[in-house]
Amino acid sequence: MESIQIKIQHITDQFQDILLLEYATEGSSGLDLRAAVETEMKIEKGKVGLISTNLKVEIPIGYEIQIRPRSGLAAKNGIGVLNSPGTIDSDYRGEIKVILFNFSDEDFIIKRGDRIAQMVVSKVYRANLIVTDELNESKRGDGGFGHTGKK
């Protein structure tokens, strides 16, 4: 498995007790992100919460970080990452914050240090765009949403 170095920094000492990013298992694709909240934070049903992590990162050029939902929070509590996947570009140096949405019918409480999302490091490919008057034909053609499921 290939690996890269990513520098990570706590923003304040106030949340030093919260674990830094970690892979839950050897086979995990995502690093667990934890909530840096005083004691707890409520996300009301049907509402958005912007959750601090107290972390900044330095990502090498040619890579990005994607912020993705945790399947357990989604399945058990109806909590998802609103702009999933959220993208952190290699030149961003601000705090990583997670936009959570409460899709459930009940308020949800996030406690200090709770795992709220996962962070996946991905290679980025830059596109060389070529303006043209003609595109190759494909089997699908210009069929829209749901087109491939029709007979």
Residues 7-124, CATH architecture: Distorted Sandwich (2.70)
pTM of the full structure:
0.85
- For 6, 81, 125, 142, the CA distances from 104, given in Å and listed in that order, are 35, 13, 36, 36
pLDDT 10s digits, 105-140: 999 999 999 999 999 999 999 999 999 999 999 888
pLDDT 10s digits, 3-55: 899 999 999 988 888 888 889 999 999 999 999 999 999 999 999 999 999 99
Is 7 strand, coil or helix?
strand
Structure tokens at 4: 């890269």
